Structure 1
Amino acid sequence: MAYSLWNDQIVEEGSIAVSPEDRGYQFGDGIYEVIKVYNGNMFTAQEHIDRFYASAEKIRLVIPYTKDVLHKLLHELIEKNNLETGHVYFQITRGTTSRNHIFPDASVPAVLTGNVKTGERSYENFEKGVKATLVEDIRWLRCDIKSLNLLGAIMAKQEASEKGCYEAILHRGDIVTECSSANVYGIKDGKLYTHPANNFILNGITRQVILKCAEEINLPVIEEPMTKADLLTMSEIIVSSVSSEVTPVIDVDGNKIGAGVPGEWTRKLQQAFEAKLPLSINAE
C-alpha cells in the first residue's frame, strides 16, 4: 500500500480529494519542491525546505507548519512507503475558495500534499551523455520561484522530446538561461561558466552542490550570462537537477560538444558529487 502527505497527516494514497476550486488547480497558485532519496535518506533536505519557504515568502503564501515539522512529515512519508531510491515531491497551494484572482482571506488554510516515487539513477546518461536542443525561453520573469506554473517549461521539454533530446536548453534572445527542468553549465579552458542566480533561473540545490564541487577540484566558476554561440564553443557542457545529478551533454542540435564524449572536468565533477551522496544506510 502506498501513502501520501495530506496537510499534517500521512494517509493512504487515493484517499485525498482535491477540490476543483483549489487555487493550485485553477491558477497554479502554489509552489513545490522535489528531494532526491538515496538509500532511504533525503539529500540536501534542509536546503530544499529552506527554498520551499523562501518561494512561499516571495508569493506571500503562509506555510502553516514549521520547517522542522515539515522535515519530520517528509521523513515519515519516506519511511511509510519504504522508499529506498527515488524522490519525495511536495507542494502547497493558497487553498480552496471561490474562484477569484485576488488572494483569499487569511482564514483560508493552505493545502499541503506530497508523495514519493521510486526511480533508479540514470547511470547510462551519466556515463554516455545526452543530446539537447536550443529553445526560446518563453517563461515568466520570476524563475527564481519554484512555482506550480510550469507550462512554459513543459512546452520546451516536449519540443526537446520530439527531437529525440534529453533537455531543452533555454535562451532569452541570445542569452542562455537554464534548461526546461535543469541548470546548464559550459566548461572551457579550465573554467566553468553558468548563468548567475537571479530572477531568470532557479538557483538549483544541485547547482549549489556542483559549485561547491567545482571549488573542491579547483575548477574556477564564472557566473555570468553566455550566448548561444558561446555555449556551442564549450569543450564540455553539463546539466544538473535532482534527477539529472551531473549529466554530460555531448550534442546540441547536431553540434558535437568537444570530442563528442563526456570530458575530463565532467568526470571530476561527477566524482566529487558522488562523494557527497548519502549512499550508505542512515547517512543523512
Structure 2
Amino acid sequence: MPRIAYVNGRYLPHARAGIHVEDRGYQFADGVYEVCQIAGGTIIDITRHLDRLDRSLGELRMSWPIARRALEAVIAETARRNRVRDGMVYIQVTRGAAPRDHVFPPEGTRPSLVVTAKRIDPAKAEARAAAGVKVVTVPDNRWQRVDIKTVGLLPNVLARQQAKEAGAGEAWFVDAQGMVTEGAATNAWIVTGDGRLVTRHADFSILRGVTRTTLLEAAARLGLTVEERAFSVDEAREAAEAFISGATTVVTPVIAIDGAPVGDGRPGKTALALRATFFDVAEKMPA
C-alpha cells in the first residue's frame, strides 16, 4: 500500500508530497517537530507531545498551524490512512514559506504543517532491546537551547553517523565538564551500584523527553529512587546499568560505552523492568 502524507491541509501520496522551495524549515531550519510512537493501534502520550510542541512553538514565537484538536485528528487520520498499528507518526511545523530573509516573514504568513506515519516492526525493536546497544561519546557542540525540539539537527546527524561508523547504536554528548548531557536522539540514564536511577536534570542542556517524563512515573510505580542530576562518563562506565529512552526507543539498554562494557555487558534488569512497565503508565489514544 502506498504511503500517505498530510501537507498543509491535503492528504497526498507520500512520493508526491512536498513543500515550497522557500519554506523556512528548508531554508533556515526554522521549525519544530514531534515524534509519537504508535503501539498496538494507539498513539502514545499524545497529550505530552502536543504540550511540548506548544512550548517549542512558543519559545520560537510561532503560531499553531491548525487548532490543537484538529491536529490530533490529523495525526490519527494519517496513522489510519497508512494502516500503521506499530510504528511512528512525525509532525513538523515551520514558520512557513516566504521570500528568503533572516527576519521573520510578514505577519499573517501561514505556518507549514507536515504529518507522516510509517511502520516499525515491533519484533525488531524488542530484539534490539533484548540485545542492548553500544554508545560512543562525542563533544557536545550544539547550540544552547536544545530544550526546544527544532529541526536543526546537524550536530545530531554527525554524532549518529560517528556512532554508526564505530559499530554503535547511539552517541552520547558530553559537555566541557565531562558530564553526559543526552544522546543524539535519546535521553541518557544510568543505574548506580546501589540501585539508584540517574538522569540529567531537564534544563536548557537537554530535551525534556516525553518518554523520559513517563519513565519517571514508571520508576515511581516500581519503587525506584530517582536522582535528576548530571553524571560523568566515568560514572556511567562504572554504573551497574545504563540505558537510553525515546519515543521509538522506549527503553533500550546500553551494554558498552566507548568499547568498555557497562556492568556485565548485558542488558540490565532495571532497564528491562522499566521497559515492561512503560506501556502500563503511558497515555494511549486510538489511532
TM-score by length of 1: 0.95
Which position in structure 2 is the counterpart of 1:58?
59
Give the Cα separation in 2 of the matches to 1:60 and 1:92.
12
Question: What's the CA shift for 1:9?
Answer: 3.1
Taking only the aligned residue pairs, the percentage that are identical comes to 32
The 1:32/1:283 distance shift into structure 2, 3 A limit, reads closer
Which position in structure 2 is the counterpart of 1:259?
264
Residue 150 of structure 1: which of 144, 150, 153 is its match? 153
Give the Cα separation in 2 of the matches to 1:30 and 1:175.
29
Report which stretch shifted further, 107-116 or 15-24. 15-24
What does residue range 95-110 of structure 1 map to in structure 2 within 5 Å?
95-110=96-111
SS at match of 2:250: coil
What does residue range 99-178 of structure 1 map to in structure 2 within 5 Å?
99-121=100-122, 122-173=125-176, 174-178=178-182
- Does residue 21 (structure 1) correspond to residue 25 (structure 2)? The answer is no
Work out whether residues 41 and 278 of structure 1, in 8 Å CA contact, stay in contact via their aligned partners in 2.
no
- Does residue 210 (structure 1) correspond to residue 215 (structure 2)? The answer is yes
SS at match of 1:266: helix
CA offsets per residue over residues 81-119 of structure 1, 9 Å max, x none? 211111111101101111110001112111101111111
The 1:278/1:30 distance shift into structure 2, 3 A limit, reads closer
CA RMSD of aligned residues (A): 1.6
Question: What's the CA shift for 1:216?
Answer: 0.8
Give the Cα separation in 2 of the matches to 1:213 and 1:51.
20
What does residue range 26-45 of structure 1 map to in structure 2 within 5 Å?
26-45=27-46
CA offsets per residue over residues 156-192 of structure 1, 9 Å max, x none? 1110000000000111121110000000101011101
The 1:264/1:64 distance shift into structure 2, 3 A limit, reads closer
* Paired residue total: 282
Question: What's the CA shift for 1:120?
Answer: 1.4
Give the Cα separation in 2 of the matches to 1:208 and 1:39.
21
Report which stretch shifted further, 259-268 or 206-215. 259-268
Question: What's the CA shift for 1:11?
Answer: 2.8
Letter aligned with residue 234 of structure 1: A
- Does residue 236 (structure 1) correspond to residue 237 (structure 2)? The answer is no
Give the Cα separation in 1 of the matches to 2:16 and 2:128.
36
Residue 186 of structure 1: which of 166, 170, 190 is its match? 190
Work out whether residues 200 and 228 of structure 2, in 8 Å CA contact, stay in contact via their aligned partners in 1.
yes
TM-score by length of 2: 0.94
Question: What's the CA shift for 1:78?
Answer: 1.1
CA offsets per residue over residues 110-143 of structure 1, 9 Å max, x none? 1101111111131112112111111111111111
Give the Cα separation in 2 of the matches to 1:132 and 1:13.
33
